[in-house]
Structure 1
Amino acid sequence: MASNVEIKAKVTDIEKLKHLAKEVSGQPGKLIEQEDTFFLCDHGRLKLRKFPNGQGELIFYSRADQSGPKLSNYHITKVTENTDDLIHTLDLAYGIRGVVKKKRYLYLVGQTRVHVDTVDGLGNFMELEVVMKKGQSCEEGQAIAEDLMAKLEIAKAELLTSAYIDMLQRKS
């Protein structure tokens, strides 16, 4: 499976973060609207990410719920049509855990995907996903994430442990 080192943090000033991300990446962020339907799963997390054009991605991932940089293993399958039918089929098989809707600004910095997210019902967040290269150690990924945290002025106190779906479920 592919892997990345990731962090998630609460954001108080989203415009400042977008400005810093644009400076660090050297490019404007790309807006991506996403609707993630999470399914009940015995281990890890399974979601179908749906885009406004009707296409999507079926994503399985597993990672520890801890603050700071953490290793995430994942597998993505592209879905080019019938995303609603696939959601229905997976619901019948596993059941739906919940849905997360967000507007995401994506900035690319080297091997890292910087996400500036506005999540319906939760607020503003930032995620870093350092996409690991073959043979690269988790420690190298953590160092890259921590360097970007400093450049984006993300304090360790702002780091979160949970996925958006977990936060939404605790809130309701």
Structure 2
Amino acid sequence: MGKRSGDDVTKRAQWAGAAGMRRNVEVKARLRERAAARGAAERRGGPGRALAHTDTFFRVPRGRLKLRRTPDGRGELIFYERPDTTGPKLSRFTITPTDDPDGLEAVLGQALGVLGVVRKERLLFLVGQTRVHLDSVEGLGDFLELEVVLTEEQSVEDGERVAHELMKELGVEEEDLISGAYLDLLLAKGESGL
């Protein structure tokens, strides 16, 4: 093979940067007082937006891979990696949209196998750089999720500080924190959502 030109190397570096994983600091907790958390989120972020999601998880050797379906017939394929620990934690993720979630689910199901399905109603609030989710998860109940979206310049510690401040405002206690994904909680109950 010949030498790569400077332009080829630059293009590859740009592509790698564009295709790189995004980062956020996440918190997931059981929600004790939905009305109080909603009031606090509305005071900080205005009215929430109602969303409905059906997430199909596939068997993968590392991280998690899910296909998110929305009522408009579209979907998003989401791969993410984060530790299964309580409290604020770094999550790295990649998302790609699809207009054919049925076809994509069929192919991925055949190739990888389906691990389970999570259905939820979500209220989304945008509070600064944080996505605040109030989730009602079928078979599990009510939860709060924070996603502090990090800029390239921000450290994980910066995101953790933001998360801890919002946890206080929203009434999240240490004993409310959970690790893992909603699917893990369903599987622990002996349910897969299929």
The two structures have a TM-score, normalised by structure 2, of 0.86
Larger strand proportion of the pair: 1
Query: Does the 8 A contact of 1:24 with 1:151 survive in 2?
Result: no
Higher RCO (C-alpha 8 Å, min separation 6): 1
1:137-156 alignment, distance < 5 Å: 137-156=155-174
Letter in 1 for 2:112: Y
Q: Of the candidates 67, 74, 95, which is equivalent to residue 48 of structure 1?
A: 67
Q: Of the candidates 83, 94, 100, which is equivalent to residue 112 of structure 2?
A: 94
| Matching residue of 2:15 | none
Over 4 Å off, 4+ runs: none
- Which one is further off, 100-109 or 152-161? 152-161
Task: Select the structure of larger CA radius of gyration.
Answer: 2
Q: Does 1:169 align with 2:187?
A: yes
1:141, CA displacement in angstroms?
Answer: 0.3
1:129-144 alignment, distance < 5 Å: 129-144=147-162
1:153, CA displacement in angstroms?
Answer: 1.2
| Matching residue of 2:11 | none
Query: Does the 8 A contact of 2:87 with 2:178 survive in 1?
Result: yes
Q: Residues 104-155 of structure 1, C-alpha deviation per residue, up to 9 Å, x if partnerless?
A: 0000011100000000000000000000101210000000000000111111
Supply the distance in 1 between the matched residues of 2:33 and 2:172 (Cα, whole angstroms): 11
Unaligned 5+ residue runs, structure 2? 1-20
| Matching residue of 1:8 | 28
Query: Does the 8 A contact of 1:8 with 1:125 survive in 2?
Result: yes
- Count of aligned pairs: 170
- Identity percentage of aligned residues: 47
Q: Residues 9-63 of structure 1, C-alpha deviation per residue, up to 9 Å, x if partnerless?
A: 00122122111111121x1110000000000010000000000001011000000
